[in-house]
Chain A
Amino acid sequence: MQLTVWTYEAPPHVGAMRVAAAMTGVHLVLHAPQGDSYADLVFTMIERRSARPPVSYTSFQARDLGADTGALFQDSCRAVVERFQPQTLLVATTCTAELLQDDPGGLAATLGLTIPVITLDLSSYQRKETWGAHETFERLVRTLAGPGVLGPGAERPPRAAGERPGCNLLGPTALGFRHRDDVREVTRLLDRLGIAVHQVAPLGATPADIAALGRADFNVVMYPEIAAGAARWLERSYRQPATKTVPIGVGATRAFIHEVAGLAGVDPAPGLALLDEGDQPWAAPLRQPWYARSVDSTYLTGKKVFVFGDATHAVAAARVAAHELGFTVVGLGSYTREFGREVRAAAKDFGVEALITDDYLEVEAAVAAATPDLVLGTQMERHIAKRLGLPCAVISAPVHVQDFPARSAPLMGVEGANVLFDTLVHPLMMGLEEHLLDMFREDFEFRPDAAPSHLGTAATPAVATPDPAGAAPGPDRPAPIQPAPSAPPAAATSAGAATLITWATEAERELAKIPFFVRGKARRNTERFAKERGVATITVETLYDAKAHFSR
């Protein structure tokens, strides 16, 4: 048994739903008790989908358990086929029905349906959402593209004369982090290189599109967490090579252009031209490198960033932060255990130990211990950062309704690099603003609870004013001094031990003179320093001792 408060990943059948909901002409029948239909709202509310996901539930109840739940499942399949007329039926059980051992595949096989029926074995008590999506996509590809596989020793038929080289984009699903916008951006980039996109899958694909995947020259694996297995099978079965680079950030986009140009046998120059800053870099399509070099960005230098998310996004965001924006990566981790090796390798490059966990309390403790200036993470880290009074940007699923912006906001390609600059920099205080505030901090308009001017008052508690002097701990703020009953020791704020630390009045007054946007950090560091040394009352001396200690 595992104690879970908040989860990074849903159960595996939600991963199957993400694939089904991405496609058209597919319907998923879930053998599931009443109540499991809650998962529909994740799609209709968070992604604002205007149609229900193509998913039906058997909705069995206690009274059905004594009767024939298998027959109920068969009735549901028949009703779904009649009503929705899908071209392919997916069948699976959720956790409860897995215990009933009704064998949905066997039951569906006896229905005599004329459409392909794909049985998903989702292992609800071992696996999770991402694995479920990966498994579902691979099953779909193997089943639907299976009839066309090349025989042993057979070569791919050559392209027709004059036909552009083509690829498939694999991995985007429903509820993916910016998948919709990434597809558009990558398609644009490939088009610039003269490479056609044959199929995007599963997002927007029909079963016929999946069956036709073998037609392309190669596959672009946009999200390895979802498409790695399918791409491996396609490589074996259709001799289609697959890309290894995920084009997030300028460096990765450049590498990606070279990689796909090589696979397609085309000149990379038209793609690389998109990265050319020219003699007017402020007006170039790719603005991120110039923005990072511009003097206002000087203040970003060495800012400490903690990164957590799915493997692909976490690793990519860490590289962009370190190599393209000049941050210092002080933490890197992922909840996707399946890609632990890749994350560990990347973490090594930054000289940090990778955190591979799906326990958000562990992540919270790690963030608190790393004392970063910025957290890049998921919705979970957004809440962790809020509690710790740290700025945060969301760069990975799991996502919230606000992570589906109305505008296009890709992470991949040229525009993705621009978007990442904004995403990583906006939660922080602007450079000149920081200096001005420091200089004029006694000015009456720079009151302690003032927010950065560009963020507005609404953002105040979450972002730049971690600890207005004298403010009472609120629901979103940790109570840093006493171990408040509502704060778990595991949360690893300074409230960990049962020691009471108090601030002398003069020390409190001195603390108030520190610019408010670093005051919260100063308070935390000082309390940590005091706790480590068993200092019960923080004096002005303690404050400056701590400052000296932490500035080493």
Chain B
Amino acid sequence: MMSDAAAPMPSADGLGCGEPTVLRERGQREVFCGLASIVWLHRKIQDAFFLIVGSRTCAHLMQAAAGVMIFAEPRFATAVIEERDLAGRGDMDAALDGIVGRLIARRPDIRLLFLVGSCPSEVIKYDLDRAAARLGQAHGPGVRILTWSGSGLETTFSQGEDRCLASMVPAAPAIGADAAPQLLVVGALAEVVEDQFGRLFDALGVGPVAFLPPRRAEALPAIGPATRFLLAHPWLGETAQALQARGAARLAAPFPLGAEGTTAWLKAAATAWGVPEDRFEAVTAAGRARATEALARHRERLAGKRLFLFPDSQIEVPLARMLARELGLVPVEVGTPYLHRDHLAPELALLPETRLSEGQDVERQLDRCRQARPDLVVCGLGLANPLEAEGLTTKWSIELLFTPIQGYDQAADLAELFARPLIRRAALAQ
């Protein structure tokens, strides 16, 4: 399928030296759509509710992706479009208004309601912005209504977070052009990681610091030309654009995975704030030492192991960089659903020579994987058990989204995610 686009594309089109060769493929994609981001976003923003306007498939996806993490009362739900809704638009508006009214009445703690678009709502061109304006009138100012699309037509997995955060940017208050510089850390991080970074920025004298998304929607950080922002994840292209449209400036950096990535990421902010070199060294020394020491144990087991990454969340390039440079793994193929060349430039500069692939034809990629016989495969849940049954060792990629892995003190946790499958296989082989 789509074989014209599937051929390897050597860098004949003027990608200069340092620019990687990228194998671009189209075919069956074994990835989540952006709705899956809601699984972590709804835990992060504690007074927000995510209402998907979609189908039974969307509802089932959320259930399957959330897996065993069935919370007693999740802050997400699906308004399932039915046959009669497809017959006439008027009904659908009224039905949606009724559902939102009931939801808000039932959950008085909700301050922000996201109307989330899906594949079916996009194909029938249901106007969620208009619905949001109407519902905002009815339920504002106590409840703010924002919209974004997590459809598989437009988003892959973590790009849902990108759309969600981008939808919040225009709603954030403004800070004046003459305000002192403020740091905004962009991308959902575990609270423990946020707090660690907060303490480090504090010690460096970088600040004030705010986080997007905030833990509570009411506390949306102010944004303006004084904002300098650091992306915590590589999948935040649209959010970065929205922030830049409000005058904020992006601090280019590798992503905070591993000791090296974390140091470079902190350094980007320190440089922007003019933090003296010795102070930076002093503040980060302890974290770097702890990370290096903790990683050494895992390095013994992981060094030299060959690694194959299937595309999943876009974390693959920074992840491969960290695993290669700090743990000695050898990436055979690094697949990513989308390669943001600008935001990943500092990462690509550090990544050892490997095969990069963008997009997916899962059957061809499985062929390459079987042929390469890597020591460790990073892939989604649909592929993991079948590959294990073929004798390959796998690591579920979804865990990289649900586990705190950023920063110095999580570097070893990240390494352990990759060591554990190998330890287990060795243990069971005895």
Contact = CB atoms under 8 A, between A and B. Distances in A.
Contacts of A45: 67, 381, 384-385
Interface string A62-103: 100100000010011011000100000000001110011000
Given A33-B152, A49-B385, A83-B363, A42 B64 contact: yes
B278 to A, nearest CB: 46
A124 B67 contact: no
Interface in A113-167: 123-126, 128
B30 interface: yes
A419 to B, nearest CB: 24
A36 interface: yes
Nearest to A76: B1
A386 B71 CA distance: 11
Interface in B82-100: 82-83, 85-86, 92, 95-96, 99
Interface residues of B, number: 70
Contacts of A34: 29, 31, 33, 152-153, 156
B29 A476 contact: no
B123 A100 contact: yes
Interface in B35-56: 35-36, 53, 55-56
A100 B92 CA distance: 19
Interface stretch (B102-110, B241-249, B264-272, B321-329): B102-110
Interface in A285-336: none
A486 B63 contact: no
Contact of B106 (A41, A59, A128, A490): A490
A351 B211 CA distance: 58
Interface string A409-426: 000000000000000000
Interface string B144-172: 00000001111010000000000000000
B133 to A, nearest CB: 19
B386 A10 contact: no
B380 interface: yes
Given A1-B92, A6-B63, A124-B55, A59 B72 contact: no
Interface in A1-39: 1-7, 9-11, 13-14, 33-39
Contact of A36 (B53, B86, B152, B383): B152
A6 B72 CA distance: 10
A61 B154 contact: yes
Interface string B53-87: 10111011101110110111110111111110110
Given A1-B96, A2-B80, A487 B1 contact: no
A387 interface: yes
A457 interface: no
A5 B106 contact: no
B32 interface: yes
A389 to B, nearest CB: 12
B65 to A, nearest CB: 6
Contacts of A10: 56-57, 60
Contact of B153 (A51, A58, A61, A79): A61
B88 to A, nearest CB: 12
Interface residues of A, number: 68
B31 A35 contact: yes
A125 B30 contact: no
A40 interface: yes
B83 A125 contact: yes
B99 A1 contact: yes
A485 B73 CA distance: 10
A99 B120 contact: yes
B136 interface: no
A194 interface: no
A387 B96 CA distance: 29
B33 to A, nearest CB: 3
B107 A3 contact: no
Tell which of B63, B72, B381 has the most Cβ of chain A within 10 Å: B72
Given A40-B30, A50-B385, A52-B383, A35 B2 contact: no
B82 A2 contact: yes
A51 B28 contact: no
A215 interface: no
A54 B125 CA distance: 32
A52 B55 contact: no
B73 A488 contact: yes
A83 B364 CA distance: 10
A79 B367 CA distance: 14
Nearest to A125: B83
A487 B71 CA distance: 12
A5 B151 CA distance: 18
A400 B389 CA distance: 21
Contacts of A78: 1
Given A3-B102, A51-B389, A125-B55, A62 B154 contact: yes
B398 to A, nearest CB: 9
Contact of B82 (A40, A94, A126): A126
Contact of A33 (B68, B106, B153): B153
A118 to B, nearest CB: 21
Tell which of B1, B55, B70, B154 has the most Cβ of chain A within 10 Å: B1
Given A50-B389, A76-B1, A124-B56, A35 B79 contact: no
A129 to B, nearest CB: 8
B25 to A, nearest CB: 11
A466 to B, nearest CB: 15
A76 B361 CA distance: 11
Contact of A40 (B1, B153, B156, B382): B382
A516 interface: no
A251 interface: no
B257 interface: no
Tell which of B65, B70, B86 has the most Cβ of chain A within 10 Å: B70
A206 to B, nearest CB: 21
Contacts of B99: 1, 3
Given A41-B381, A50-B386, A96-B123, A4 B31 contact: no
Contacts of B381: 41, 44-45
A475 B196 CA distance: 26
A244 interface: no
Contacts of A125: 55, 81-83, 85-86
Lowest 10 A-B CB distances belong to which pairs?
A: A35-B33, A35-B152, A40-B382, A50-B389, A1-B95, A41-B381, A96-B119, A485-B109, A95-B55, A34-B152
11 contacts: A36-B152, A59-B29, A75-B1, A94-B57, A95-B56, A96-B123, A99-B123, A100-B123, A126-B82, A488-B73, A488-B107
Interface of B: 1-2, 27-36, 53, 55-57, 59-61, 63-65, 67-68, 70-74, 76-83, 85-86, 92, 95-96, 99, 102-103, 106-109, 119-120, 122-124, 151-154, 156, 362-363, 380-386, 388-389
Interface of A: 1-7, 9-11, 13-14, 33-42, 44-45, 48-52, 56-62, 65, 72, 75-76, 78-79, 83, 94-96, 99-100, 123-126, 128, 383, 386-387, 400-401, 475-476, 478, 485-491
